[in-house]
């Protein structure tokens, strides 16, 4: 009989994936598997993994671990920019520099959470988790690209902004009420970069504070002095104060440009690495069959 194999008194053959056809001399009948058995067989087939899928899982797991570490680096760069150099941010009229740093902090925090989620999604092999993971990767990618673009735009505008605003900020807001952060930033700037005034020490002659009684006959702030002591700013001789060509504006510009390069490079660099992660995620997603409901 076609489709049957004779084994003793009974023949067995598969005429349907979920049925067994029994053939004998007296006749034939079909025995159908219970529904629960069919489901278990389907689940078993979905759990079978190829060598490529297994390798892909471990590659993606390794990527997620490195991605988690990278998130920590991104967040650290953003926090360092905001905490260590926050005083200088108050000297800038534009908030783009600070915005870039805040975006990096946010992206770094999301990256670390996403890295953990990615590891769970990889080992549990759940397509729904992989979908969530991919969407988070895409959001972080866009955030970091945004940080990089903002850093680049501000990089182009920085010189003009400093020329227009730094001198005005120094002469109008230094040692004035409600501008304590500006005073602190200017003093730190002049001491750290060994400079005096925006373009030169002569800028301080137009300062509201220097021309007032509160300055007590100082011609420059004490922070201009090479060895700062009280009232040392009364003498502006080169042996006493910093008289650097270009003043503080050139020093601050170089400092911010260097940090913008770091912010931009970190943001774009991590974003490019994420593209690899998204490709691996798509590959693993496709290799897994739809989850049974």
pLDDT category at 71 given cuts 50, 70, 90 is confident
| pLDDT (0 to 100) of residue 206 | 93
Backbone torsions φ then ψ of 51, nearest 5 degrees? -60, -35
Classified as helix, coil or strand, 14 is strand
At 272 the pLDDT is 78
Contact present, 174 and 91 (Cβ < 8 Å): no
User: Of 180, 204, 189, whose CA–CA distance to 255 is shortest?
Assistant: 189
pLDDT of residue 219: 92
Residue 112, helix vs strand vs coil: helix
Q: What is the DSSP letter of 93?
A: S
Q: How far, in Å, CA of 116 to CA of 111, rounded?
A: 9
Q: Are 198 and 247 in contact, with CB atoms under 8 Å apart? A: yes
Q: Which two tokens stand for residue 124?
A: 């549990």
The pLDDT assigned to 50 comes to: 67
DSSP 183-249: HHHHHHHHHHTT--SSSSGGGGGG-TTTTSGGGTT-SS-GGGBSS--TTGGG---TTTB---TTHHH
Q: List the beta bridge partners of residue 24.
A: 27
Between these two residues, 244 and 135, which has the higher pLDDT value? Answer: 135
Residue 52: pLDDT band (50, 70, 90) is low
DSSP character string of 18-85: TEEEEEETTEEEEEEPPHHHHHHHHHHHHH---HHHHHHHHHHHHHHHHHHHHHHHHHHHHHHHHHHT
Separation of alpha carbons 191 and 173, rounded Å: 18
pLDDT in tens, 113-122: 888 887 777 7
- Report the pLDDT value the prediction gives residue 38, as an integer from 0 to 100: 44
Structure tokens at 220: 């420059």
pTM over 0.85: no
Mean pLDDT of 159-169: 84
Q: What confidence tens digit (pLDDT) does each residue in 226-252 have? A: 988 888 999 878 888 887 666 888 888
CA distance 26 to 255: 96
* Averaged pLDDT for residues 165-183: 90
């Amino acid at each position: 009989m076609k489709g049957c194999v004779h084994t003793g008194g009974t023949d067995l053959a598969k005429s349907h994936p979920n049925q067994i056809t029994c053939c004998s001399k007296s006749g034939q009948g079909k025995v159908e598997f219970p529904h629960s058995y069919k489901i278990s067989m389907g689940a078993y087939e979905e759990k079978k993994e190829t060598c490529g899928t297994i390798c892909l899982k471990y590659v993606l797991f390794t990527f997620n671990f490195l991605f988690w570490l990278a998130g920590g680096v991104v967040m650290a760069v953003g926090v360092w920019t905001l905490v260590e150099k926050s005083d200088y941010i108050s000297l800038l009229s534009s908030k783009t520099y600070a915005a870039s740093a805040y975006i990096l902090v946010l992206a770094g925090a999301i990256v670390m959470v996403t890295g953990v989620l990615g590891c769970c999604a990889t080992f549990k092999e759940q397509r729904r988790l992989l979908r969530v993971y991919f969407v988070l990767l895409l959001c972080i990618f866009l955030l970091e690209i945004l940080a990089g673009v903002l850093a680049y735009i501000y990089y182009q505008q920085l010189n003009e902004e400093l020329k227009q605003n730094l001198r005005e900020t120094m002469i109008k807001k230094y040692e004035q009420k409600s501008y304590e952060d500006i005073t602190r930033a200017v003093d730190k700037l002049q001491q750290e970069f060994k400079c005096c005034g925006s373009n030169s020490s002569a800028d301080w002659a137009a300062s509201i504070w220097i021309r007032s009684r509160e300055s007590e006959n100082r011609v420059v702030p004490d922070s201009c002095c090479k060895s700062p002591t009280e009232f040392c700013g009364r003498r502006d001789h080169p042996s006493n104060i910093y008289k650097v060509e270009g003043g503080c504006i050139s020093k601050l510009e170089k400092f911010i440009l260097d940090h913008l390069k770091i912010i931009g490079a970190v943001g774009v660099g991590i974003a490019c690495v994420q593209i690899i992660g998204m490709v691996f995620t798509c590959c693993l997603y496709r290799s897994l069959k739809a989850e049974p409901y």
